[in-house]
């Protein structure tokens, strides 16, 4: 392993600009003549817009334009779309309601944009927005996914009777019913997977700019996938032909899924920039982000797990209602279906699984992928069922898991996935050792002496990453292919630029991707630049989400590098006057086998461009190759997280006193960055389990609509984290990578709740396990304890 190659904890190349304040986030960009836009949003969760009077707003100082949904429709700007088709079990397609970028005729959630003001300054735009007179006829609202399908519930969209988007299922109902009929034990749970607000620290932002000379549009945008944004805005919204629209994603301050989607605001900025003839900038404020960014999770599930003799799992069934909010966001339909039910086998050899999912509309902010996207929900169902079953069966939760782990690979689950490789017991054993599970009983006794309740919880999770192959996802309804592209450009001096369709918004691709190139070409990492996030530079790409940049994005780079190497060998053969088949390339040197002839990488690169040693008929000059990589399977990162908690029974406060994670991500490019990804994922999972909750009142007002009411995990809420790995290289891609971005968020919630319920000895506890919730659970289970 070289100091900068694969496996080295290389310090990040991108850090210098961030720690010196020189990052360039969208809000840091200021375009000449730029104007500012403010979105007036519906205060009502459900209302007919009977009239909008913009006359007095238009006369306010600095105002350039006031635009409404009628203007948008008048200009024939298309609706936003959901790009993954799901069919109901009866074969009917999902009921996608029209989603205009500015509400027209009706507002469907509190926060739905109803008009915009473009002005010289943001203050003026906000001042003028207050002069817009909107007449609303307020309609009854429904926010509870469990109630929205009831007869008599307010009807949100005409196309979706009973607010039902689809009724989907996966698995074999008959096989599952049979297994349950003969079960020795059945564990049942009702689970609410709480709604979360992603809250990347950088709020979303967009600048739209129209050049009337070239008729080109440019969009600077906080997006995780600029090419997909361009494709949707061109092909569906119809703003401009694809080749006349450039999307730039500069430095992006975290995404966690929330910056995948194509939102109203960027569409409106582009449209408005042509209307006013000047660049239009929007920067979301935090309180606005609570209403403007797609939320995550929000499932209501009943799940059952059947056991045969000796704790052997025989079947699992689940019925889930997934709240998709007021409109179908870009990938919303895929999250509670193919990213959820396909993972219900967990790490276990489960012969039969059946899952039904109803996706529903409510008068709430749209819901879409948030870190883990479907897989945290699945893991929570499976890992809670297993832990509760162990308690009911009076079995050690470790033994129950071990007895049911998948042990031979490949393993076909009853829910589509074919696990390629893994060693689940190895991760669990290592985690138990690091967490000192043997010493837990003594720690618990010591805590009891201090009046504290101590608990230990496990989560042995699996996820499916990469979100590919394209043909497979296409057959499941995806509107796009999910490959990745790369282009390797070698300069005459031998330095290298890699253009990738992956997008880094904190993951450190500028470093890890460069490590790959440094190792493969034997050149210093300083001589490698990674270019991403600009549709004018990178031809096409699918972006970053689903822990796919390593497994898919880097595999594309490997393919391109192989082509570069092959071409370079041709150049070297001319340069050294040797047969191409005799050229050996190693550590940045080309040698002729069996001789002492050699040429350095930079010499060969130079000769590729000066082309003095070969004719055009023999070889094309230059050294630049591109590749598209489409995986052969999903990847299956898995691992074991162990959480240890201490609870103050008097207040219900939970303190996480220990966290151990042992993950199997396959090959690791940069262990420092991988650990960082795990840390962050755990924090988000802990946030979901202990404090984060998007709460609506019955009228559809978001009660937790700012950091004053939405609890974000702070440094104090987390302990030092113990992270380790086991490695079974992924056989499905050239580097053996599985992906690491979401693991923590997937594993953590179940580990926390399993630990708390172990401590308080009752299962009756929903997320988030806030202090009052835990206190109430303790009191209900053991009144004497709580009253102490």
Partner 1 sequence: MPRVSLTVNGKAVTADVESRTLLVQFLRENLRLTGTHVGCDTSQCGCCVVHVDGRAVKSCTILVQQAEGADVKTIESLAVGDTLHPMQEAFRQNHGLQCGFCTPGMIMTAVDLVARKGHDLDDKTIREELEGNLCRCTGYHNIVKSIAAGAKAMAATTTAQAAE
Partner 2 sequence: MYNFTYHRASGLRQATNLLGKLDEAKLLAGGQTLLPTMKQRLAAPANLVDLNKVEGLSGIELQGRALVIGAMTRHAEVASSPVVQQAIPALAHLAGLIGDPAVRHMGTLGGSVANNDPNADYPAACLALAATIITTKRKLIADEFFTGLFETALMPDEIVVKVSFPLPKKAAYEKFRNPASRYALVGVFVAKRPSEIRVAVTGAGTSGVFRVPAFEEALKKRFSPKALDGLGVPADGMSSDIHGGAEYRAHLVGVMAKRAVAAAME
Binding site for partner 2 (CB under 8 A): 123, 126-127, 287, 650-652, 691, 693, 695, 703-704, 707-712, 770-772, 775-776
Q: Rounded to whole angstroms, how far apart are CA atoms 643 and 387?
A: 13
Q: By CB under 8 A, tell whether 744 contacts partner 1.
A: yes
Nearer to partner 2, 16 or 707 (CB): 707
Task: Write the CA distances from 426 to 190, 286, 538, 730, integer angstroms.
Answer: 31, 43, 41, 16
> Using an 8 Å Cβ cutoff, are 207 and 29 in contact?
yes
Backbone angles phi, psi at 262, to 5 degrees: -100, 115
- Judged by CB under 8 A, the chain residues 423 through 442 that form the site for partner 1 are none
> Binding partner of residue 772 among partner 1, partner 2, none, CB under 5 to 8 Å per kind?
partner 2
> Binding partner of residue 609 among partner 2, partner 1, none, CB under 5 to 8 Å per kind?
none
Q: Which residues pair with 219 in a beta bridge?
A: 208, 247
Nearer to partner 1, 288 or 298 (CB): 288
Q: By CB under 8 A, tell whether 399 contacts partner 1.
A: no
> Using an 8 Å Cβ cutoff, are 635 and 466 in contact?
yes
Q: By CB under 8 A, tell whether 510 contacts partner 1.
A: no
Minimum CB distance to partner 1, residue 289 (Å)? 9
161, 714, 772, 787: which one contacts partner 1 (CB under 8 A)? 714
673, 690, 760, 777: which one contacts partner 1 (CB under 8 A)? 673
Binding mask 171-200 for partner 1 (x = CB under 8 A): ----------------------------xx
C-alpha 558 chain-centroid distance: 24
Q: By CB under 8 A, tell whether 526 contacts partner 1.
A: no
Locate the DSSP E strands across 630-767: 638-648, 653-664, 722-725
> Binding partner of residue 693 among partner 2, partner 1, none, CB under 5 to 8 Å per kind?
partner 2
Minimum CB distance to partner 2, residue 687 (Å)? 10
> Using an 8 Å Cβ cutoff, are 543 and 468 in contact?
no
Task: Write the CA distances from 683 to 375, 568, 774, integer angstroms.
Answer: 16, 46, 20
Q: By CB under 8 A, tell whether 711 contacts partner 1.
A: no
Backbone angles phi, psi at 564, to 5 degrees: -60, -45
Nearer to partner 2, 287 or 782 (CB): 287
Q: By CB under 8 A, tell whether 3 contacts partner 1.
A: no
H, E, C per residue of 735-755: CCECCCCCHHHHHHHHHHHHH
Work out whether the CA dihedral 747, 750, 753, 755 comes out positive or negative: negative
Nearer to partner 2, 507 or 770 (CB): 770
Minimum CB distance to partner 2, residue 647 (Å)? 14
Q: By CB under 8 A, tell whether 466 contacts partner 1.
A: no
DSSP-assigned states of every residue in 296-333: B--EEEEEEEEE-GGG-EEEEEEEEEEE--SS--TTGG
681, 700, 732, 768: which one contacts partner 1 (CB under 8 A)? 681
Q: By CB under 8 A, tell whether 254 contacts partner 1.
A: yes
Nearer to partner 1, 253 or 553 (CB): 253
Minimum CB distance to partner 2, residue 290 (Å)? 12
Contacts of 209 (CB under 8 A, 6+ apart): 31, 217, 218, 219, 220, 273, 279, 280
Query: Which range, of 9-17, 373-381, 596-604, 641-649, touches partner 1 by CB under 8 A?
Result: 9-17
Q: Rounded to whole angstroms, how far apart are CA atoms 163 and 322?
A: 12
- Judged by CB under 8 A, the chain residues 691 through 710 that form the site for partner 1 are 706-708
Q: Which residues pair with 646 in a beta bridge?
A: 454, 655
Neighbour tally for 345: CB within 10 Å: 27
Backbone angles phi, psi at 5, to 5 degrees: -90, -165
264, 680, 732, 739: which one contacts partner 1 (CB under 8 A)? 680
- Judged by CB under 8 A, the chain residues 214 through 253 that form the site for partner 1 are 251-253
Q: Which residues bind partner 1 (CB under 8 A)?
A: 11-12, 14-25, 27-28, 30, 123, 199-203, 251-254, 256, 283, 285-287, 505-508, 672-673, 675-676, 679-684, 706-708, 712-716, 718, 720-721, 744
């Amino acid at each position: 392993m070289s100091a900068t190659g694969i496996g080295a904890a290389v310090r990040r190349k991108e850090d210098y600009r961030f720690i010196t304040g020189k990052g360039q986030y969208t809000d840091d960009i200021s375009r000449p003549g730029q104007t500012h836009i403010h979105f007036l949003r519906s205060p009502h969760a459900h209302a007919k817009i009977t009239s909008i009077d913009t006359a007095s707003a238009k006369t306010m100082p600095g105002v350039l334009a006031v635009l409404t949904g009628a203007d948008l429709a008048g200009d024939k700007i298309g609706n936003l779309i959901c790009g993954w088709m799901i069919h109901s079990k009866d074969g009917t397609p999902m009921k996608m309601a029209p989603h205009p970028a500015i509400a027209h005729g009706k507002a469907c959630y509190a926060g739905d944009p109803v008009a915009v003001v473009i002005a010289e300054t943001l203050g003026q735009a906000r001042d003028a927005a207050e002069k817009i007179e909107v007449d609303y006829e307020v309609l009854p609202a429904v926010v509870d996914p469990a109630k929205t399908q009831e007869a008599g519930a307010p009807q949100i969209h005409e196309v979706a009777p009973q607010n039902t988007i689809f009724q989907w299922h996966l698995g074999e109902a008959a096989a599952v019913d049979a297994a349950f009929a003969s079960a020795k034990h059945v564990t049942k749970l009702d689970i609410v997977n709480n709604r979360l607000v992603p809250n990347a620290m950088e709020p979303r932002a967009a600048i739209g700019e129209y050049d009337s000379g070239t008729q080109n549009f440019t969009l600077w945008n906080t997006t995780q996938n600029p090419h997909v944004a361009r494709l949707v805005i061109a092909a569906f919204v119809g703003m401009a032909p694809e080749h006349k629209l450039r999307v730039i994603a500069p430095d992006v301050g975290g995404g966690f899924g929330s910056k995948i989607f194509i939102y109203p605001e960027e569409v409106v900025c582009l449209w408005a920039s042509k209307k006013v003839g000047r660049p239009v900038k929007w920067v979301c404020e935090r309180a606005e982000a609570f209403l403007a960014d797609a939320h995550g999770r929000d499932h209501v599930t009943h799940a059952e797990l059947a056991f045969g003799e000796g704790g052997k799992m025989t079947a699992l069934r689940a019925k889930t209602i997934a709240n998709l909010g007021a409109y179908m966001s870009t990938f919303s339909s895929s999250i509670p279906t193919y990213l959820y039910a396909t993972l219900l086998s967990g790490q276990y050899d489960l012969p039969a699984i059946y899952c039904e999912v109803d996706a529903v509309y409510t008068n709430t902010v749209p819901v879409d992928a948030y870190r883990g996207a479907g897989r945290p929900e699945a893991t929570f169902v499976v890992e809670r069922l297993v832990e509760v079953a162990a308690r009911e069966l009076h079995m050690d939760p470790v033994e129950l898991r071990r007895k049911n782990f998948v042990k031979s690979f490949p393993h076909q689950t009853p829910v589509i996935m074919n696990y390629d490789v893994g060693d689940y017991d190895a991760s669990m054993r290592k985690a138990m050792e690091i967490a000192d599970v043997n010493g837990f009983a003594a720690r618990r006794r010591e805590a009891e002496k201090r009046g504290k309740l101590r608990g230990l919880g496990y989560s042995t999770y699996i996820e499916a990453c990469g979100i590919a192959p394209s043909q497979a996802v296409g057959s499941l309804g995806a509107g796009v292919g999910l490959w990745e592209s790369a282009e390797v450009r070698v300069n005459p001096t031998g330095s290298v630029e890699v253009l990738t369709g992956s997008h880094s918004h904190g993951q450190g691709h500028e470093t890890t991707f460069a490590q790959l190139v440094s190792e493969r070409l034997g050149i210093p990492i300083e001589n490698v630049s990674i270019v991403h996030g600009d549709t004018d530079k990178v031809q096409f790409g699918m972006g970053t989400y689903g822990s796919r940049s390593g497994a898919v994005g880097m595999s594309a780079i490997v393919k391109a590098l192989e082509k570069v190497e092959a071409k370079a060998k041709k150049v070297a053969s001319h340069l050294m006057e040797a047969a191409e088949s005799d050229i050996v390339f190693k550590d940045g040197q080309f040698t002729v086998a069996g001789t002492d002839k050699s040429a350095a990488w930079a010499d060969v690169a130079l000769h590729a461009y000066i082309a003095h040693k070969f004719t055009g008929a023999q070889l094309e000059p230059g050294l630049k190759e591109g590749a598209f990589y489409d995986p052969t399977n999903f990847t299956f990162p898995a691992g074991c997280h162990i959480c240890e908690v201490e609870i103050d029974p008097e207040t219900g406060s939970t303190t996480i006193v220990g966290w151990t994670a042992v993950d199997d991500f396959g090959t690791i490019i940069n262990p420092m960055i991988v650990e960082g990804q795990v840390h962050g994922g755990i924090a988000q999972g802990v946030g979901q389990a202990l404090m984060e909750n998007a709460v609506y009142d019955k009228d559809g007002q978001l009660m937790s609509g700012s950091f004053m009411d939405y609890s974000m995990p702070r440094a104090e809420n987390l302990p030092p984290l113990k992270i380790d790995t086991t490695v079974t290289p992924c056989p499905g891609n050239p580097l053996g990578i599985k992906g690491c971005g979401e693991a923590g968020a997937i594993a953590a919630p179940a580990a926390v709740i399993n630990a708390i319920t172990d401590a308080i000895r009752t299962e009756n506890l929903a997320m988030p396990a806030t202090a009052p919730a835990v206190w109430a659970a303790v009191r209900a289970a053991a009144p004497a304890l709580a009253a102490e």
